[in-house]
Structure 1
Amino acid sequence: MGGTRHSGRRWIPATLLGAGLVTVLALTGCTTTGAGTAGVGGVGLVEQPEPAKLTVSPAAGAKDVGPGGPITVNVADGTLEKVTLTNADGKQVKGELAADKKSWKVGEDLGYAKTYTWSGSALGADGKNVPLSGSFTTVKPKSQIKASLNTGDNQTYGVAMPIAVTFDAPVKDRAAVQKALTVETSVDTEGAWAWLSDRSAHWRPKEYWKPGTKVTVKADTYGIAFGNGAYGRNDVTSTFTIGRYQVVEGNTQTHRMVVKTEAGQTHDFPASFGLESDPGRVTKSGTHVVMSKHASYGMTNPKYNYENVVVPWAVRISNNGEFIHGYAPSIWAQGKQNVSHGCINLAPANAKLYYDTVLPGDPVEITGSTQQLGAQDGDYYDWALSWEKWQKLSAEVA
């Protein structure tokens, strides 16, 4: 077309003209879309510049807005000259204007049950200003739910360490909350969130972490709707590192506890596991995770009539009372038979050798017993679940 209008004229021969025939003038031409003025007599089309089109979120007049956002301004066919968001006291809210001046986003958390007012303007392609104005009100929550993390900043963890976000009240809308949870890794790592209860979401990799991986976890839950009128009270984040590879392999039938690193096997200790004839004393099979370690620890179990029995070099591997620790009174059984109340007993000297190498998050793989580690044992039973079962506990597929 070229923006030019063409026309032509076709004459009917005179011999074809009669009483019912008239001269027919056929005109041909171009059509255009969008704004513009069609040229006449060979003059080209002239596109008209567009005015700026603002998209504001939340819009003017919006009520019960979640302060978790999005709180943004975007413009098409123009640029933002100035964007200001102020609270009821006239204080300006922090925000960030993009380098291309096409968008603005809030830079701090808004308050609950507060009124905020937009002001500013955009300059359109047509050279005209379009004002930004209007107010919105944030929601007043029925309750607020607090989040906490099991990992700390600048800490180092073992290759089986799960990430746990725990809430201080049940979460109704798990899908909405899960969208606010992110994990960033320095090494490509396949992993997924799983809800192990209505108050706890865990993230673990499909396979053990690669040593040296740097991890940042964020729970940006402030202002997020949790369901039933509850909203997030806070944001939490941590950045940590995965340390060296180390795994314990304990076999209740051979009565051995083997420690392996990337360099190979470093220790093979005689051990005594839980007494198998008593269901309440069996050491559970499955992959446990080191939770903490203590130079000495007082063991108490009213069911079996002992209280504050202090043992050295205690490494907790489950919330069901299972530890790896030194215990001189059972040296006679270590490497031969299982006599403990569920713990892995080592000679104190051997327990110290192991204790000195431990990181929270190290895996302890137990095999050979008559019971399996599971949900009844509390944190962390993450690795007792197959990857297929783990993925099914995500709110995204529930």
Structure 2
Amino acid sequence: MRSLRTARRLPAALVALGLAAALGLGACSGDPAPTPTSQPPAGGSGSAAEALPAKLTTQPAAGAHDVAPGDPVKVTVADGQLESVTLTNSEGKQVAGQLAADKRSWATTEVLGYGKSYTWAGTATGADGKPVQLSGQFTTVSPKRQVSGSLNVGDDKTYGIAMPIALTFSSKVTDKAAAEKALSVETTPKTEGSWAWLSDTQVHWRPKEYYQPGTKVTVTAKIYGVKIGDGVYGKQDVSASFTIGRSQIVKGDTRTHRMQVIRDGQQIADYPVSYGLDSDPGRVTHSGTHVVMEKYPTYSMSNPRYGYTDVNVPWAVRISNNGEFIHGLQASVWAQGKQNVSHGCLNLSPARAKEYYDGVLTGDPVEITGSTQQLSPRDGDYSDWTYSWDDWTKLSALSA
């Protein structure tokens, strides 16, 4: 009882002192209390240690030799922004280029030349606010040989629904994969297709199925500056934009001696025909999907093996490179629709041949059935449709 009464009589000052001590012990963590700091400025790194100098990277690197002009040429910066960039050739001409909107990269917008020296210059500002100079040189390759390419299609032309695109090189391509990577085909509507190497100098592109009528097609071969062999480089880019016309398919059967013309799904003609003589492998008309290659108002035909030279025929439409045409021939009208007596061509009367000739487009398919011989890749430049799709895609240099 006595001790309790004593506690109640403790002075208020002592109680306050004890409470303060207890609070002090409860707040202690062994570390001093944090000191408030100011926020880093907007866009800053947060501390002086993180304010890094600009780091410049050039492609190609300074000191590089034998650079392919088709390779990317650019400057990038880390921890900073580009202020100015110039690339100057040995004649003192500046190469055109474009600075990115974020000022972190610059790239050329024109191609470089072969066998030239180029010098970088410019500045960048780092996150630390200090300028860094851009410098360095590189040289481009002097090719042993330059190879050109030519297309079988032209700008603003209209072709049939089976039209293959053919790119022919002026000499042998040994790095087909590098060359094919430089090729592109854009179609509207989108059309599945593939490149296929049919020889060391020729690569074709065809759709998986016939084009839809009205398809817009642009083919681009950006081969300039591309290494396509040992010391061999592309000479110039080539391109073409064209349109696919209406759908027209010829369907012919050597056994019935007739051919039908199907336009946009409707039959518009059914002609009596004399095909090649089936009993002679040298004269038979081949079965398979042919493609119209070209046409002539008159054409001179010769085949010394069968005893004729310079025989002029009217309204000749070439459908393969093995001598097969659709053309007029008055001399075989008696056999047309009844017998196959030609030397491989589809003979029509001159009037019917003219009617067909007037409506045909390069690239129209001609599907022949019923003969003893099959069209094959050996039969010419437009034999693309003799391949199955699986076999076709295997001819790409980029196939898996």
Q: TM-score category by the smaller chain?
A: 0.7 to 0.9
Q: Does 1:182 align with 2:218?
A: no
Decide which of 335, 338, 357 is 2:337's aligned counterpart: 335
Decide which of 156, 159, 173 is 2:158's aligned counterpart: 156
Q: SS where residue 153 of structure 1 aligns?
A: coil
For residues 189 and 125 of structure 2, the distance between their equivalents in structure 1, rounded to whole angstroms, comes to 43
- Identify the residue that residue 22 of structure 2 maps to in structure 1: none
Name the CA shift for 1:239/1:27 in 2 (closer, same or farther; >3 Å).
farther
More helix by share: 2
For residues 87 and 156 of structure 2, the distance between their equivalents in structure 1, rounded to whole angstroms, comes to 36
- Identify the residue that residue 290 of structure 2 maps to in structure 1: 288
For residues 100 and 308 of structure 1, the distance between their equivalents in structure 2, rounded to whole angstroms, comes to 70
Residue 391 of structure 1 aligns with an amino acid whose one-letter code is T
For residues 204 and 27 of structure 1, the distance between their equivalents in structure 2, rounded to whole angstroms, comes to 78
Q: Does 1:358 align with 2:345?
A: no
Q: Does 1:110 align with 2:112?
A: yes
Decide which of 210, 213, 232 is 1:211's aligned counterpart: 213
Q: Does 1:193 align with 2:187?
A: no
- The percent identity for this pair of structures is 63
Q: SS where residue 356 of structure 1 aligns?
A: helix
Report Cα offsets for 1:256-295 as digits up to 9, x if no partner: 1110011500000011111111111111111111111111
- Identify the residue that residue 239 of structure 1 maps to in structure 2: 241
Q: Does 1:62 align with 2:64?
A: yes
- Bigger drift between 296-305 and 385-394 goes to 296-305
Q: SS where residue 310 of structure 2 aligns?
A: strand
Report Cα offsets for 1:67-89 as digits up to 9, x if no partner: 11111222233332222111101
Q: SS where residue 175 of structure 1 aligns?
A: helix
Residue 187 of structure 2 aligns with an amino acid whose one-letter code is T
Decide which of 304, 318, 321 is 2:320's aligned counterpart: 318
Residue 140 of structure 2 aligns with an amino acid whose one-letter code is T
Q: What displacement does 1:164 show?
A: 0.7
For residues 30 and 114 of structure 2, the distance between their equivalents in structure 1, rounded to whole angstroms, comes to 66
Q: Does 1:81 align with 2:83?
A: yes
Decide which of 167, 171, 189 is 2:173's aligned counterpart: 171
Name the CA shift for 1:191/1:307 in 2 (closer, same or farther; >3 Å).
same
Q: Does 1:377 align with 2:379?
A: yes
- Identify the residue that residue 272 of structure 1 maps to in structure 2: 274
Q: SS where residue 267 of structure 2 aligns?
A: strand
Which runs of 5 or more structure 2 residues have no equivalent in the other structure?
Answer: 1-24, 41-45
Residue 357 of structure 1 aligns with an amino acid whose one-letter code is G
For residues 27 and 119 of structure 1, the distance between their equivalents in structure 2, rounded to whole angstroms, comes to 56
For residues 330 and 125 of structure 1, the distance between their equivalents in structure 2, rounded to whole angstroms, comes to 87
Q: What displacement does 1:123 show?
A: 2.5
For residues 28 and 273 of structure 1, the distance between their equivalents in structure 2, rounded to whole angstroms, comes to 103
For residues 299 and 249 of structure 1, the distance between their equivalents in structure 2, rounded to whole angstroms, comes to 24
In the TM superposition, 1:47-58 aligns within 5 A as: 47=47, 48-58=50-60
If you compute each CA radius of gyration, which structure gives the higher value, 1 or 2? 2
Report Cα offsets for 1:118-162 as digits up to 9, x if no partner: 111222333222221111011111111111111101111111011
Residue 117 of structure 1 aligns with an amino acid whose one-letter code is T
Name the CA shift for 1:66/1:268 in 2 (closer, same or farther; >3 Å).
same
For residues 128 and 218 of structure 2, the distance between their equivalents in structure 1, rounded to whole angstroms, comes to 45
Q: What displacement does 1:41 show?
A: 4.0
- Identify the residue that residue 132 of structure 1 maps to in structure 2: 134
Q: SS where residue 282 of structure 2 aligns?
A: helix
Please report the TM-score for the alignment, with normalisation by the length of structure 2: 0.87
For residues 213 and 76 of structure 1, the distance between their equivalents in structure 2, rounded to whole angstroms, comes to 45
Calculate the aligned-residue CA RMSD, in Å: 2.0
Name the CA shift for 1:43/1:164 in 2 (closer, same or farther; >3 Å).
same
Q: SS where residue 86 of structure 2 aligns?
A: strand
For residues 378 and 175 of structure 2, the distance between their equivalents in structure 1, rounded to whole angstroms, comes to 24
Report Cα offsets for 1:236-273 as digits up to 9, x if no partner: 01111111111111111111111001150000001111
For residues 238 and 284 of structure 1, the distance between their equivalents in structure 2, rounded to whole angstroms, comes to 32
For residues 123 and 384 of structure 1, the distance between their equivalents in structure 2, rounded to whole angstroms, comes to 61
Q: What displacement does 1:100 show?
A: 3.0
Number of aligned residues? 367
Report Cα offsets for 1:313-350 as digits up to 9, x if no partner: 11111111111001111111111111111111111111
For residues 129 and 288 of structure 1, the distance between their equivalents in structure 2, rounded to whole angstroms, comes to 67
Name the CA shift for 1:262/1:27 in 2 (closer, same or farther; >3 Å).
farther
